[in-house]
């Protein structure tokens, strides 16, 4: 048993604490653009979502993302994010599996 610190973050939609690598980071850049940040390294205010479309939809409906980012997220941006979300979901899941293999 090796003690490991897993950084936990909360999904803004379902409020569950999850290991950071199992969450998708959404970031508001200093230019006030809202983007999905798969690297986790973009600067700006971040919010985390489970890598599940259901949580993304919930965040949209409840405006949880707006609150977390302290900015009204425009419907166009949600639409863009939804597309990006679907696009990154496979990569995200693939990365996750790869990480698990390394252990
Ligand atoms: Zn969630």
For 60-89, write each residue's pLDDT tens digit. Answer: 999 999 999 998 998 888 888 888 877 777
pLDDT at res. 45: 94
Asked, for residue 26, whether it belongs to a domain, the answer is no
Asked, for residue 3, whether it belongs to a domain, the answer is no
Asked, for residue 67, whether it belongs to a domain, the answer is yes
Asked, for residue 101, whether it belongs to a domain, the answer is no
CA of 13 to the centre of ligand 1 (A): 5
Asked, for residue 24, whether it belongs to a domain, the answer is no
The torsion angles phi and psi of 53, rounded to 5 degrees, stand at: -60, -35
> Tens digit of pLDDT for each residue in 20-67?
888 889 999 999 889 888 888 899 999 999 888 889 999 999 999 999
CA of 1 to the centre of ligand 1 (A): 29
Asked, for residue 102, whether it belongs to a domain, the answer is no
- Whole-structure pTM value: 0.78
Asked, for residue 77, whether it belongs to a domain, the answer is yes
Cβ pair 23, 9 in contact under 8 A: yes
Contacting residues for 10 by C-beta, under 8 A, at least 6 apart: 16, 17, 18, 48
Domain housing 69: 10-17+35-95
Question: Beta 34-37 vs 23-28: how paired, if at all?
Answer: antiparallel
Asked, for residue 84, whether it belongs to a domain, the answer is yes
CA of 16 to the centre of ligand 1 (A): 6
CB atoms within 10 A of CB 82: 14
Domain count, the chain: 1
CA of 90 to the centre of ligand 1 (A): 17
């Amino acid at each position: 048993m090796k003690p490991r610190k897993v950084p936990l973050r909360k999904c803004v939609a379902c409020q569950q604490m999850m290991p950071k690598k199992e969450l998708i980071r959404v970031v508001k850049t200093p230019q006030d653009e809202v983007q999905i940040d798969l690297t986790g390294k973009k600067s700006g205010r971040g919010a985390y979502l489970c890598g599940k479309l259901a949580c993304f939809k919930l965040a949209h409906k409840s405006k949880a993302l707006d609150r977390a980012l302290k900015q009204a997220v425009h419907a166009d941006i949600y639409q863009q994010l939804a597309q990006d979300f679907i696009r990154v979901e496979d990569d995200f899941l693939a990365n996750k599996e790869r990480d698990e293999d390394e252990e």
